[in-house]
Amino acid sequence: MIFLRKRFFLFIFIYFLIIIKVHAIDTKADSAVILDVNSNTILFEKNSDMKQGPASMSKLMLTYMVFERLQNNSLSLDQEFIVSKKAWKYGGSKMFVKIGDTVSVNDLLKGVIIQSGNDACIVLAEGLSGTEDNMVEEMNDKAIELGLTGSNFTNVTGWPHKDHYMTLRDIAHLSKEIINKFPEYYYLFSVNEFTYNDIRQFNRNKLISIDGYDGLKTGRTTQSGFGIAASSKKNNRRIVSVVNGLNSDKDRINETKKLVNWAFREFITLDLYKAEDTIQLAKVWLGKEPLVPLVLNEDLAITIKKKNLDKYKIKLVYETPVIAPIKKGDKIAELHLIEGDSTKTKDIYAGKNIDKISKFYRSFSIVNYLLFGVSN
């Protein structure tokens, strides 16, 4: 018997009335990256894969490690750690902890995030992992797990070292992970000031005083220049911007504002499907049910240039009918996201199990197909 399966195409065209020209953008930062968090789309990049000293922006990795422990209840905000001589003596920016004192995790997090305290980083690392070296090893393991392929840590503070580096792409990805995974702790990045040991310090991220901006972390060393990982939210859309290699705090603020405003102005993000939404019902051959739902395994949002809204199309491609047995989670199709000459693909899966019919009914179905073209 010759059984012919057809290749199925579903085109979905998206039309909008407003067409806005996208203007080119550049930055005087040595490196930069703009990420749309909702769709995980890079909108702009400049030397984004260059390994470089991240300075205190690498404190985001330590912060991730603490948030993860808080979330899985292996750590609490009121838990206290003892300040060692090493932490007390550590140079650079400080929370100004005192040797021998016990400090709560809540205060230490504020010391890291708001005051960029190197001493607070050491207290957390030693309290959580025994030594700074142990925490560094954990951070590097977590970087691999998160797919931060351009990062390596030799300390928990961001202190300059030839083998301590990150790419701005990695910093943007790490920022997105913190925002998405730990919403209950992310608010700490927007706290404007913190007083410890009667020393009042303001958040080094001055962008949080501007409407829409709500975190993350600055960084600055002589070698790296001024940098910042910043996040801004507008109309349920979130942009992460990372810049580095600038000459002043004013420059990193102004360059970030310019890039973020451009991203919001020139692009639009559309929420297309939620995970497990049925995109299409595909015909089934020799199955106990005639149709199988085709679904995504994660939410799908797209970010596109506003000028290309009338040109964007989505194409669902699969072989039809789908032959039983089918297991939920089997890859069945591909969703092609086409913007001009660029095409991205997403895998589409079976949304349920479909068992194969018995031999008797299989013979009956084959006869039906040969005589009448009925596939089930």
Beta carbons of 276 and 351 less than 8 angstroms apart: yes
d(C-alpha 35, C-alpha 133), whole Å: 32
Q: Is 235 left (phi over 0), alpha (psi -120 to 50) or beta?
A: left
Q: What percentage of the chain exceeds 90 in pLDDT?
A: 76
When pLDDT is cut at 50, 70 and 90, the band that residue 226 belongs to is: very high
- Amino acid, res. 197: N
Residues 6+ apart with CB under 8 A from 287: 322, 324, 325, 326, 354, 355, 356, 357, 376
- Hey, what are 22's tokens? 């996208």
31 is catalytic: no
The pLDDT mean for the chain works out to 89
Closest C-alpha among 171, 199, 217 to residue 32: 171
Residue 48 is among the residues annotated as catalytic for this protein: no
From the list 185, 202, 184, the residue with the least C-alpha distance to 193 is: 202
Q: What's the N-to-C CA distance of the chain in angstroms?
A: 16
Higher per-residue confidence, 150 vs 363: 150
89 labelled catalytic: no
Please, which pLDDT band fits residue 341 given cuts at 50, 70 and 90? confident
The catalytically annotated residue of 46, 59, 110, 142 is: 59
> Distances in Å between the alpha carbon of 78 and those of 104, 122, 235, 355?
5, 18, 35, 53
**Which of 116, 232, 241, 375 does the annotation list as catalytic?**
116
pTM metric for this prediction: 0.84
Strand partners, 216: 230
Domain 31-269: CATH superfamily is DD-peptidase/beta-lactamase superfamily (3.40.710.10)
Q: How far apart are CA 73 and CA 78, in angstroms?
A: 12
* CATH for 274-372 (2.60.410.10, 3.40.718.10, 3.30.1280.10, 3.30.365.10): 2.60.410.10
**Three-state secondary-structure class, residue 33:** strand
The domain locations on the chain are 31-269, 274-372
Check 31, 39, 48, 56 and give the catalytic one.
Answer: 56
- pLDDT tens for 133-142 read 999 999 999 9
Whether 3 has a pLDDT exceeding 90, the answer reads no
Complete edge-to-edge strand list for the sheet that includes strand 331-339? 6-13, 313-320, 331-339, 342-350, 291-295, 278-285, 322-323
- pLDDT exceeds cutoff 80 at 64: yes
pLDDT digits (tens, 9 = 90+) for 8-47: 555 444 433 333 334 578 999 999 999 999 999 999 999 9
